[in-house]
Amino acid sequence: MSLHRANVEKALSRITRYVHRTPVMSSGFVDKLLGCSVLFKCENLQKVGAFKARGAINAVLSLPASVHTVITHSSGNHGAALAWAASQVNKKSLIIVPVDAKPIKKSAIRNYGGVIIDCGPAITDREKKLSEVLRETDAHFVPPYDDPDIICGQGTAALELQEDYPEIEELWVPIGGGGLAAGSALLDIQGNGPTVVCAEPSLARDAYDSLRTGEIQPALPPKTIADGLRTSLGRLNFEVLRSLNIHIELVHEEAILSAMSLIWSRMKLVVEPSAAVPLAGLLAKGTDAPAVGVILSGGNVEATFNLTN
């Protein structure tokens, strides 16, 4: 399957009846801070609470009918998305999850019908467990990000935003495995889409280092609060981003928390740390574009309250 804008358009046509066309919101306070119009694509309000639903359902709908069980590894959102997508077409799902994944994300996987298989916290632990299970079952592996159907499905969020607001000249997205970044970048592969800018935590800077060195770099230890961005950059995504000379802005943990607080307090939107990374990068770098898009990638964060007398 070739990676072109047309594939993203086909993916959108394929998945439309399964996913939400998420709303786009703005904040006068943020506009004033940046001196431009900032339009937030609210994928935190998507099915399963994240953009991952798009790629997962696109991948599952593209499978032959002979596939009855799907499997993946995920720290949470892709796992929940695949479990949900499999349930839409009566398939079983096995999700390999690191032991340090957020409880709320594990709970979501189970609630959507996924069977959780525990593994260690490192990406190598996930891959080892995946190999073991694939040898023992007839499950079909659906990668979390390094797959054409996943990439094109994720790109539909950016395509919807461009269709609704064609005046957007610059689009900020988070980058971990790179599916959303690469899928969004495909819209500009022939110069007819917004310029994509990625933001990545400094504590998970493998994508930044990969593009800088011209070679895929291993993921760093999983320390960033943006747990959805701890994965290593996929090879297909690396090739797309490198060919388009995509810029990545690194952000510190304090900036991520500050941006998340800004979104919560000013826009009254619940987003997870990974979703706040693009705004953190945009605030740090600034922009000359009159209209900027930001994809809020997910909202799966646990709310804890302490009641005292």
- The SS3 assignment for 199 reads strand
DSSP 218: P
Q: How far apart are CA 307 and CA 305, in angstroms?
A: 6
In sequence order, what DSSP letters do the residues of 126-176 get, joined into one string?
A: HHHHHHHHHHHS-PEE--SSSSHHHHHHHHHHHHHHHHH-TT--EEEEE-S
Are the C-beta atoms of 295 and 184 separated by less than 8 Å?
yes
Nearest to 209 by CA among 219, 223, 221: 219
For 238, the token pair is 């690396």
Q: Which long-range contacts does 189-192 make (Cβ < 8 Å, 24+ apart)?
A: 189/4, 189/5, 189/244, 190/5, 192/5
For 56, the token pair is 């997962």
DSSP 65: T
Are the C-beta atoms of 151 and 203 separated by less than 8 Å?
no
First-to-last C-alpha distance (Å) of the chain: 61
In sequence order, what DSSP letters do the residues of 24-63 get, joined into one string?
A: EE--HHHHHHHTSEEEEEEGGGSGGGBTHHHHHHHHHHTS
Q: Please identify which residue in the block is written with the tokens 């499950």.
A: 139
Catalytic sites, residue numbers: 52, 75
